[in-house]
Amino acid sequence: MRTVKHIAFLLIVYTTLTMCKAAPQEVEFLRDDVIHGLNDQIITGRFTAKNNLNIQHEINIAKSRHAKNYDINFSAYDKNGIAYYNIDSKGFYNGYVLVVPFEYKKHKDKLYLNFHGKNMKINYESNQSTISSNLGFKGNYLPSVFHHSMKITPKNSQKPELYFIKNFENEYPLNIDFFEHPVIKYRLEKLLKSQYASFIQNFKQDTPIIQIKPDLYTTSGCSDRKCLEVQEFIEIDVSNNKINVKIFNKKRQFEYKEP
């Protein structure tokens, strides 16, 4: 009888934990926007917000190779492009939020990034004023709510041929058979001609497909782990429907541009 009660108790605990774990996924998200995430919770890309000094702060989030790890950059610049601050960190997904260690002028804290649609809210482990009130100069605090700022707006209400790239943001090309996509394959073959086969062969150590600014994506690959032999770069301009390729080896640099 005691064993039965013990098993029943464990089942209740497991069911409760499972329900709690699933709760964050029940929120309604704006799925038509160009935002990408893990179970629609971790959103990657560029977020912006302004504080009461009218200074724009940026947070850029990119997925690492490990499924639960992310690379995060915090920054803000003046009108001349001089940084008030520029901080890199690595965060991890704990099943509910993105946890990001944050340090500025020897002050340390943990930020908890919560995502809902195209908005992100920042919560703090300790007192917010100890870490975020004077980033760069007095009163330049870190805003609490940021907005996802990268999304493609098709011209003339028609989606460009390369519009599908948005679905590959932060993915590794070799993990998703990127070069087998019919549009990518056809256009690279046409662009590189006799160099196409060696280009694909040398694209071994790859980097994620990232959006460096709205509509402009890039990725790269190397023929070896240290990138000492051949380096290859692809730039995909969605708005202008262009694919450009650069290839570097020990002797020369080659650049291929679509007309």
Dump pLDDT digits (tens) for 209-237.
887 777 889 899 998 877 888 999 999 99
Give the integer Cα–Cα distance in Å for 41 and 67: 13
The per-residue pLDDT for 154 is 53
CA angle, 69 then 72 then 74, to 5°? 160
- Identify the pLDDT of residue 20: 38
- Cα angle value 125/131/132 (rounded, 5°): 110
CB 229 within 8 A of CB 250: yes
What is the dotted CATH code of the domain comprising 28-148?
Answer: 2.40.128
Task: Specify the domain boundaries for CATH 2.40.128 within the chain.
Answer: 28-148
Question: What mean pLDDT is predicted for residues 100-124?
Answer: 85
DSSP-derived 3-state class of residue 42:
strand
**pLDDT tens column, 28-61:** 333 333 334 444 456 777 889 998 888 999 998 8
Element of type H or E holding 113: strand 107-116
pTM value surpassing 0.75: no
For 163-213, write each residue's pLDDT tens digit: 888 888 878 899 899 999 999 999 999 999 999 999 999 998 888 888 777
Q: Residue 181: what are its φ and ψ, rounded to 5°?
A: -60, 130
